């Protein structure tokens, strides 16, 4: 896999690039005062890319942090006796982090367009606050002049970076640290969970992750990056401009990232380079003052329309095409090692974390009731979806649920997994009352579901999908090891390999989900649920949308999984379902009609009537 095969390639290339850039650019005749702002915008773009490219949160309000960080750093350096620029940057980082936390609390209450609108509105408040109520501290529309150039106090000596050339090394070092940390974050378990949130927040949450916590965390990280970049801006210009707070600043960050390529970390640097180069070209060389922004706007619109992943994304695609052409039998990107590796031990982790509650294949299988629903009802407005359901499943049982359309099966499942809160009644799982709990908590307790319609992380590989599910079990709902490594998660590889083997996806581990056939996606859907090592697994129409051949395979698969597990299955394909289950519960019109073994159910007259609708009931 990438992370093991090419350690630090990106880091080393970045370092080399930063080291040679000034010489190459000087040779090209690009002045250093062009390159320094590129680094600053590249740095804040890293944070923004973590937020937008990796987590899918499009904020139009980054100017709030850019301005605040810059003003705080400038204030420290110009109005206090502190003249150590690193300390000022540290203070700016803390301040923007705190502001990011507070803003995030409000903005992250909503997603999508609401999130975008709220961030715009909040950033505007910062703009107005800077100009008026806080003008005493920020200098209002004059900004804060007299910000010193960067310095480095090493104790025994002090390095001053006074010229543009000297400052380049300071900013370059900041960018390098920024990119190294961001690469660590992206490769960490948290980084993978962030991508899970981007692709399918509902499923990420259903796999036991506290997505709100992670979103808030990445929002704060982005704010800190942006705030530090703001601090650098003041040092570069010798004064902190109030313009940093403008909506246009937020817009520039968004545009540069989209031009360069979101989700690449380096895209924003590329975008900033294009942006600043074009602006200089038009303004200075071609003397076309106002036109440059129009041209950039048009370029931006065209990129969004046709090159969705920006320049960096386009380059990656080109590279992929070229590589495919040059190296025809391209080794799976994951590398040879996996293929050569000994077959993985087909074992799922047996003990669940924390509570030590026995898992499905535990040495001493538990007996008794695993799940009890008492007097469960659900009303939507005036419609009653479920009415007074009493339902119990024992450890080791395979239960089927059937019922005609509109019998309330799906609602019932959603209540069991706490996706939907019941109107009345209680649900007890392994002795815990889980009524009204959060879906991620319930997954952590060992109850999870595979969905009727695939809920996968489409832009990731099969391995990453399974890792996301396994991380929920192995790390709990929330853990902020932003700089941890995937290989540091104990048991992850075995867990993923074991699950993949169970659902017959081992050869496809490094294939992108979008390339899978439907049957494979369906197996992965079940695999995601299995990878959480559930003590009770709910399957919502596992056979839905399958061809007859796929049905046979999947039934065989479910039989093999069923050994030693507790499962509840809804499906319409009764022949297949009755082959799998020990007992069947029949729902009709929101209530339990009857419960029994498959043979009893087949013979039951009421069930026949429910399904055939009283064929003798009326004649024309």
Binding to other proteins (CB under 8 A) within 251-270 occurs at: 251, 254-255, 258
Find the largest Cα–Cα distance for the chain: 103
Indicate which single residue of 521, 531, 537, 588 sits in contact with other proteins (rule: CB under 8 A).
521
Indicate which single residue of 1, 46, 51, 52 sits in contact with other proteins (rule: CB under 8 A).
52
For position 136 contacting other proteins by CB under 8 A, the verdict is: no
Of 563, 598, 571, residue with least CA distance to 583: 598
Q: Which is nearer to other proteins, 83 or 599 (CB)?
A: 599
Of 209, 215, 213, 187, residue with least CA distance to 532: 209
Compute the least distance from the CB of residue 418 to other proteins, in Å.
Answer: 20
SS3 percent helix, strand, coil of the chain, rounded to 5, is 55, 10, 30
For position 137 contacting other proteins by CB under 8 A, the verdict is: no
Residues 6+ apart with CB under 8 A from 547: 519
Residues 339-398 that bind other proteins (CB under 8 A): none
Indicate which single residue of 314, 335, 396, 404 sits in contact with other proteins (rule: CB under 8 A).
404
For position 572 contacting other proteins by CB under 8 A, the verdict is: yes
For position 62 contacting other proteins by CB under 8 A, the verdict is: no
Q: Which is nearer to other proteins, 64 or 389 (CB)?
A: 64
Site string for other proteins, 199-228 (x = CB under 8 A): ------------------------------
Separation CA 324–CA 253 (nearest Å):
34
Indicate which single residue of 111, 369, 374, 423 sits in contact with other proteins (rule: CB under 8 A).
111
For position 60 contacting other proteins by CB under 8 A, the verdict is: yes
Indicate which single residue of 7, 31, 112, 488 sits in contact with other proteins (rule: CB under 8 A).
112
For position 618 contacting other proteins by CB under 8 A, the verdict is: yes
User: For the residues of 476-513, what is the DSSP string, one character each?
Assistant: -S----TT--GGGSTTHHHHHHHHHHHTT-GGGTTSBG
For position 405 contacting other proteins by CB under 8 A, the verdict is: yes
Compute the least distance from the CB of residue 272 to other proteins, in Å.
Answer: 16
Indicate which single residue of 304, 322, 324, 480 sits in contact with other proteins (rule: CB under 8 A).
304
Indicate which single residue of 56, 104, 139, 230 sits in contact with other proteins (rule: CB under 8 A).
56
Indicate which single residue of 238, 354, 545, 564 sits in contact with other proteins (rule: CB under 8 A).
545
Which ranges in 503-573 belong to alpha helices (H)?
518-531, 548-562
Of 580, 572, 576, residue with least CA distance to 541: 572
Residues 308-327 that bind other proteins (CB under 8 A): 308
For position 113 contacting other proteins by CB under 8 A, the verdict is: yes
Residues 447-476 that bind other proteins (CB under 8 A): 453-454
Supply 11's token pair: 């880091």
User: For the residues of 587-603, what is the DSSP string, one character each?
Assistant: EETTEEEEEE-HHHHHH
Contact status, residue 146 vs residue 78, Cβ threshold 8 Å = yes
Residues 478-517 that bind other proteins (CB under 8 A): 517
Q: Which is nearer to other proteins, 386 or 454 (CB)?
A: 454
For position 101 contacting other proteins by CB under 8 A, the verdict is: no
Residues 524-543 that bind other proteins (CB under 8 A): 541
Number of residues that bind other proteins (CB under 8 A): 75
For position 102 contacting other proteins by CB under 8 A, the verdict is: no
Q: Which is nearer to other proteins, 259 or 265 (CB)?
A: 259
Q: Which is nearer to other proteins, 9 or 615 (CB)?
A: 615
Neighbours of 315 (CB within 10 A): 16
Q: Which residues pair with 433 in a beta bridge?
A: 428
Of 526, 508, 531, residue with least CA distance to 460: 508
Compute the least distance from the CB of residue 77 to other proteins, in Å.
Answer: 26
Pairing of strands 158-160, 151-153: antiparallel
Helix (H) or strand (E) holding 369: strand 369-380
For position 25 contacting other proteins by CB under 8 A, the verdict is: no
For position 291 contacting other proteins by CB under 8 A, the verdict is: yes
For position 298 contacting other proteins by CB under 8 A, the verdict is: yes
Compute the least distance from the CB of residue 594 to other proteins, in Å.
Answer: 11
Indicate which single residue of 131, 239, 277, 478 sits in contact with other proteins (rule: CB under 8 A).
131
Q: Which is nearer to other proteins, 160 or 280 (CB)?
A: 280
Separation CA 92–CA 86 (nearest Å):
10
Neighbours of 557 (CB within 10 A): 18
Indicate which single residue of 301, 324, 483, 552 sits in contact with other proteins (rule: CB under 8 A).
301
For position 402 contacting other proteins by CB under 8 A, the verdict is: yes
Supply 159's token pair: 């390095």
Q: Which is nearer to other proteins, 372 or 551 (CB)?
A: 551
Q: Does residue 303 sit in helix, strand or coil?
A: helix
Separation CA 532–CA 206 (nearest Å):
10
Q: Does residue 192 sit in helix, strand or coil?
A: helix
For position 613 contacting other proteins by CB under 8 A, the verdict is: yes
Report helix angle 211-237 to 189-199, nearest 10: 110
Helix (H) or strand (E) holding 536: strand 536-540
Q: Which is nearer to other proteins, 353 or 583 (CB)?
A: 583
Of 497, 535, 506, 530, residue with least CA distance to 396: 535
Neighbours of 528 (CB within 10 A): 29
Compute the least distance from the CB of residue 399 to other proteins, in Å.
Answer: 16
Centroid of chain to Cα 519: 25
């Amino acid at each position: 896999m990438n992370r093991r095969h090419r350690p630090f390639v990106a880091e080393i290339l970045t370092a080399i690039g930063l080291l040679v850039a000034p010489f190459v650019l000087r040779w090209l005749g690009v002045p250093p005062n062009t390159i320094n702002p590129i680094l600053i915008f590249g740095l804040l773009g890293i944070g923004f890319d973590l937020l937008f490219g990796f987590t899918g949160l499009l904020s139009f309000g980054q100017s709030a942090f850019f301005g605040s960080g810059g003003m705080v750093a400038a204030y420290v350096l110009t109005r206090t006796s502190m003249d150590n620029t690193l300390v000022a940057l540290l203070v700016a980082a803390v301040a923007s982090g705190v502001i990011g936390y507070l803003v995030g609390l409000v903005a992250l209450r909503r997603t999508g367009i609401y999130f975008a609108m709220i961030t715009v509105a909040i950033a505007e408040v910062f703009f107005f606050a800077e100009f008026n109520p806080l003008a005493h501290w920020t200098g209002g529309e004059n900004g804060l002049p007299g910000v010193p150039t960067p310095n480095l106090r090493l104790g025994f000596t002090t390095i001053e970076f006074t010229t543009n050339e000297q400052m380049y090394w300071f900013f370059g070092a900041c960018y390098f640290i920024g990119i190294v940390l961001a690469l660590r974050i992206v490769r960490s378990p948290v980084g993978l969970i962030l991508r899970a949130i981007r692709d399918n927040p509902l499923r990420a949450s259903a796999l036991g992750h506290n997505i709100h916590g992670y979103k808030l965390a990445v929002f704060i990280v982005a704010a800190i990056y942006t705030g530090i970049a703001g601090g650098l801006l003041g040092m570069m210009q010798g004064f902190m401009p109030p313009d940093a707070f403008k909506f246009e600043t937020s817009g520039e960050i968004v545009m540069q990232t989209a031009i360069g390529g979101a989700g690449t970390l380096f895209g924003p640097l590329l975008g900033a380079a294009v942006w600043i180069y074009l602006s200089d070209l038009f303004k200075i060389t071609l003397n076309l003052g106002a036109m440059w922004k129009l041209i950039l706007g048009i370029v931006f619109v065209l990129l969004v329309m046709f090159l969705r992943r920006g320049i960096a994304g386009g380059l990656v695609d080109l590279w992929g095409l070229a590589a495919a052409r040059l190296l025809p039998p391209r080794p799976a990107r994951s590398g040879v090692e996996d293929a050569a590796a000994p077959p993985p031990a087909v074992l799922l982790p047996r003990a669940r974390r924390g509570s030590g509650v026995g898992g499905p294949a535990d040495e001493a299988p538990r007996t008794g009731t695993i799940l009890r629903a008492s007097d469960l009802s659900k009303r939507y407005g005036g419609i009653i979806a479920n009415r007074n359901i009493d339902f119990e499943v024992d450890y080791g049982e395979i239960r089927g649920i059937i019922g005609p359309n509109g019998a309330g099966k799906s609602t019932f499942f959603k209540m069991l997994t706490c996706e939907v809160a019941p109107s009345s009644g209680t649900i007890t799982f392994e002795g815990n009352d889980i009524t009204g709990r959060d879906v991620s908590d319930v997954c952590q307790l060992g109850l999870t579901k595979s969905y009727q319609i695939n809920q996968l992380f489409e832009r990731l590989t099969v391995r990453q999908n399974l890792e996301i599910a396994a991380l929920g079990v192995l790390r709990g709902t929330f853990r902020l090891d932003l700089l941890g490594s995937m290989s540091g998660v104990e048991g992850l590889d075995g867990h993923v390999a074991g699950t993949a083997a169970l659902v017959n996806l081992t050869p496809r581990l490094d294939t992108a989900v979008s390339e899978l056939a439907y049957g494979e996606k369906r197996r992965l859907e079940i695999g995601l649920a299995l990878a959480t090592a559930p003590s009770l697994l709910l399957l919502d129409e596992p056979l839905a949308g399958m061809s007859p051949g796929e049905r046979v395979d999947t039934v065989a698969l479910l039989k093999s999984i069923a050994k030693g597990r507790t499962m509840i299955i809804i499906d319409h394909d009764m022949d297949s379902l009755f082959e799998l289950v020990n007992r069947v519960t029949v729902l009709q019109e929101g209530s339990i009609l009857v419960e029994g073994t498959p043979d009893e159910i087949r013979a039951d007259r009421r069930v026949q009537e429910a399904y055939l609708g009283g064929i003798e009931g009326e004649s024309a």
